[in-house]
Chain A
Amino acid sequence: MKGEVTLDMVGQRRPRIDGPEKVSGRAVFTDDVRLPGMLHGRILRSRHQHAKILKLDTSKAEALPGVHAVVVAEDAKGIYATPNEPTICGDVTRYIGEELAGVAAIDERTAAEALELIEVEYEVLPSVSTIRQALKDDAPQVDEGFPGNIVSTDFDDWGTTEQSFDEADLIFEDKFVSRPTHNLFAEYHVVVADFSRPEKLDIWTPTQTAYLFQHSFAAAFKLSINQVRIVHLHTGGAFSGRGSVRPHHYIAALLSRKARRPVKIFSSGDEEFLICRTLGDNQYKLRTAVNRDGLVKAIDIEAVLDGGGQGHALGYFGWMVGKCMSWIMDLEGLRFARKVVLTNQRPNFLGHGGMMIGTNAGLMQQLQRIAKTLEIDPIDMLLKNAIEKGHIGMSGETFASCGLKECLEKVRDASGWKDKYGKLPKYHGIGVGMGSMAAGARGAFRHDTSAAMVKVGEDGLVTVFTGIPDMGQGTHTTMAMIAAEVLGITDSEISVVAGDTDITPVDVGAFAQRGTIMTGNAVKNAAEDARAQLAKNAAEWLEVDEAELVFHEGKIFVESDPEKNAPFAKVAHSTLHSKEGRYVMGRGFYTTPVDYGTAAWSFGAQVVEVKVDPDTGLVNVLKVWVAHDCGKAINPLAVEGQIDGQIYSAMSQVLYEECETDEGQYLNPSRLEYKMPRTYEMPDVEYIIVETNDPYGPFGAKEVGEGPIVVGGGAIAAAVADAVGSFLPEIPMTPFKVWREIRKNEYREQRKSA
């Protein structure tokens, strides 16, 4: 086919294809699933941080009328949620909320009554609640297998870190902490499992990855992969929190197998906070070596990560936290040392924005402080250090597109930065942040492949089959738009079938910002395959060479003679009714061309203006200017939607969200006391979409799934620091902590003048 014509569908503001279903209440979520004979499951959880289970007697629970199955550690032998995390704990419980038994009964009330009948005797053991306690010489051991409570120590050193630190004019050092959070998606943790036949396990659950769930369940129950069917329907938000199978999923399957009936488990209120796997209490030390002209030479980060009761996956994913700093600045050296520590807390993993909101909040505050010290405008300093297209990264990454500098310039101009920075009244601040995010992460999962099928019906209506879940990010609409663009039709003529591993082709899932680039390319390839099949028939019909054809506005044209054309639907129809009875089914797949990581990165910059009330410490975010290089905005409406959610979350994590803990217990496990901003708190957002047309992306698109949240975290923190006049060492910067910082500053000033 001749070169691409102008884009019809890609680049349009399109409403979601599942919008009408969702606004009318028709969309089915897992809690809405009701299967014949379905039972309701409940889980007994540990009440102690650290205790030996001396006795666990379920006989009374089993005898309760209406109870159909009870499972204990014995039933779950050999099934692990993470490498060292048993699905049901049988010997020593290491955190409050750890699973001790599961019950399935005819209704929730009976199941709850049964739980109360289970008798547990604990022998309470000494415990550690914080990193500091865990690292003491004589600290109690959380897990015998990990002496000193250290799960892993990892160390990366790229470039010439030590030398650069030696040569640098100045070295800045700050310590900061990010407190535990919760992903807090709208839809609670819920699962329906049907394992009433031994040869097939059906699971309904919200997830970011049906594929990895399928693998985990297959391994756990010694089934072949396709004996497991994962149905994910609509997923009510994920925010990095639905990437792995958790004990409650396995327990539902175990109960269903035992009862030979489907079982639903819906987590309630505070349980939600115990079973999420998100950020813990992480501590960082950040050192930056700079020259007097503002050149950032090297960065050295030491992180101590709170793994909670397990935390084995943290060290592995942690590399990206450091690495992403080298994706924005042309550094000579970067060192990232990290230690994952066990504590008697809920096991921790990653939150919305990975771990990078915390680190970027520290980095951007520090860079703004450095600029202030060196009397350079912070944006000028970022521009001086920002990477450009063609930059070769420290591990040989090649940046084929990069709009970082353009983003910085655009937010600077849009926000009136030059008139504001350094000129605002006291407690009124402005901050800048920048960041980068990898689109895809080969090596982090089993593989990084997405596949897709495109079926062209004889009526010309098209169905896209994809395994990627849509947790709200709008991927299914994006996929419809990509297929529509290739086929020269509109997205309203396309339906997307997803969310059932019995039907849909393989897709690693919706994380690591891989949806648009990996699945998008797979759908594009599949649509092109379908187009080629249609072209064959159209060429016969129009009596031209296939290469002459253009698919556009629902028709197939001969490019040199547009009068010669055939309607798309007619061609689809005639293909099936051709002599050979051809039926058009395109297939495609895609993985990143690099061996490790990805070939495409998004870039972004933001400016944030805040006002702080010095009497109360309350921070009011006035406005956020966002510039994001997503490569190409396939659907600008969805890009804005992604930015909105991430500004919200960045602000929420930097200013509000905190799981307060006391001896391993979460003190505020509710949607009321775990503070997240609501309508009043939301600032104005101005969007600037920067398009750099990445050569690897479908139609040039990269990602907008997690880039803006990291940038936002940095910019908001920098703005608060600017308003307060000093580095804030802890996120979230709640009113109390901001107020405390202001008091400290006042005290320092008084002492200085005295």
Chain B
Amino acid sequence: MAKHIMSLTVNGDKSEFAVDDTDTLLDVIRNQLSLTGTKRGCTTGSCGVCTVNNDRGEAMLSCLTLAREWDGESVTTIEGLEADGQLDAIQAAFVEFGAVQCGFCTPGVIMSAKALLNRYPQPTEEQINEGMAGVLCRCTGHIKVKDAIRNDFRLRHDLANQSKNKSDNDAQEFKPEPGFSYTGKK
């Protein structure tokens, strides 16, 4: 197969590389760029573990997208969520609320959650269900995943307050959704 040179911006870094016509974004991200956080699963769009976000912050399946179709475009992978060495609020929420178990689907689930929250910062239950229906997670049964998403907004607000050096009282105002408890920062 003849190789073609293409470029792709992943997590803000632009790179050029040679691909086959048949390479998918998943192949490129994992094999060419060694960003193995994006997982290889069913490769037919049903399990969602390969989810990355496009430049509009929407969830897409890297297993179903041909690399050459995305020549010159940009995507965000799980490795691109952290900023300044800090986990993104949704990542922190996943840890805090027990939304991670075996962790294999987690990158895809978080990228899906991130996309959902990009569109709806405070999603309704229906929006959460719809936004997360494309991923499968047997370990958590999606229950604590939903907890983490429900609490992302509050956590984000909380973190923003902390960074503004507000008093600890603000942090205590955090009220978790019924049924869950928030243990606060370690």
Contact = CB atoms under 8 A, between A and B. Distances in A.
Contacts of B78: 23-25
B150 interface: no
B142 A682 contact: yes
A234 B94 contact: no
A670 interface: yes
Contact of A648 (B44, B82, B141): B141
A356 to B, nearest CB: 18
Interface in A1-57: 12-16, 18-29, 31-32
A472 B142 contact: no
Interface string A620-650: 0000000000000000011011001111110
A25 B143 contact: no
Given A492-B186, A640-B144, A645-B139, A31 B39 contact: yes
B36 A28 contact: yes
A184 interface: yes
A685 interface: yes
A42 to B, nearest CB: 15
B118 interface: no
Interface in A470-495: 471-474, 492
Contact of B142 (A14, A31, A473, A648): A648
Interface in B139-176: 139-144, 146
Interface string A158-186: 00000000000000000000000000111
A644 B24 CA distance: 34
A24 B82 contact: yes
B103 A236 contact: yes
A84 interface: no
Given A13-B181, A672-B46, A679-B128, A472 B102 contact: yes
A477 to B, nearest CB: 10
Interface hub of A15, A186, A677 (most chain B Cβ within 10 A) = A186
B141 A186 contact: no
Contacts of B95: 15-16, 19-20, 23
B47 A671 contact: yes
A678 B102 CA distance: 17
Interface in B73-105: 77-79, 81-82, 87, 91-92, 94-96, 98, 100-105
A95 interface: no
24 contacts: A13-B183, A19-B95, A21-B103, A24-B78, A24-B79, A26-B37, A28-B36, A29-B39, A31-B39, A184-B138, A185-B102, A185-B104, A186-B102, A234-B102, A234-B103, A237-B102, A237-B104, A237-B139, A239-B138, A471-B102, A472-B101, A474-B101, A644-B144, A645-B139
Interface hub of A22, A27, A637, A682 (most chain B Cβ within 10 A) = A22
B101 A645 contact: yes
A18 B44 contact: no
Contacts of B137: 186
Interface in A680-709: 680, 682, 685-686
B36 A25 contact: yes
B100 A678 contact: no
Given A13-B181, A234-B104, A644 B141 contact: yes
A269 interface: yes
Nearest to B88: A23
Contacts of B87: 20, 23-24
B174 to A, nearest CB: 15
B32 interface: no
A590 interface: no
Given A644-B144, A678-B133, A25 B79 contact: yes
Given A492-B186, A640-B98, A679 B146 contact: yes
Given A188-B41, A671-B44, A671-B46, A645 B100 contact: no
A186 B139 contact: yes
Interface residues of A, number: 59
Contacts of B186: 15, 492
Nearest to A474: B101
B40 interface: yes
A306 B36 CA distance: 39
A25 B78 CA distance: 6
Given A28-B36, A269-B43, A671-B42, A22 B103 contact: yes
A416 to B, nearest CB: 17
Contacts of A133: none
B62 interface: no
Contacts of B77: 25
B145 to A, nearest CB: 8
Interface in B86-138: 87, 91-92, 94-96, 98, 100-107, 110, 128-130, 132-133, 135-138
Contacts of B183: 12-15
Contacts of B146: 679, 682
B35 interface: yes
Contacts of B110: 23
B10 interface: no
B104 A23 contact: no
A439 B79 CA distance: 39
Contacts of A12: 183
Contacts of A14: 183
A306 B4 CA distance: 51
B53 interface: no
Contacts of A16: 95, 98, 100-101
Given A19-B95, A25-B79, A671-B47, A648 B138 contact: yes
Contacts of B128: 679
Contacts of A185: 102, 104, 138
Nearest to A18: B103
A187 interface: yes
A676 B140 CA distance: 13
Interface string A375-391: 00000000000000000
Given A269-B44, A645-B139, 17 more contacts: A15-B96, A22-B103, A24-B37, A185-B102, A185-B138, A186-B137, A239-B138, A645-B101, A645-B141, A648-B140, A649-B138, A670-B44, A671-B42, A671-B46, A672-B42, A676-B138, A685-B143
Nearest to B141: A648
A186 B136 contact: yes
A503 B142 CA distance: 35
A450 interface: no
B49 interface: yes
Interface string A215-240: 00000000000000000001111010
A645 B139 CA distance: 5
Nearest to B78: A25
Contacts of B143: 644, 647-648, 682, 685
A59 interface: no
Given A25-B78, A25-B107, A637 B102 contact: no
A162 B100 CA distance: 50
B109 to A, nearest CB: 9
A237 B41 CA distance: 13
Nearest to B42: A671
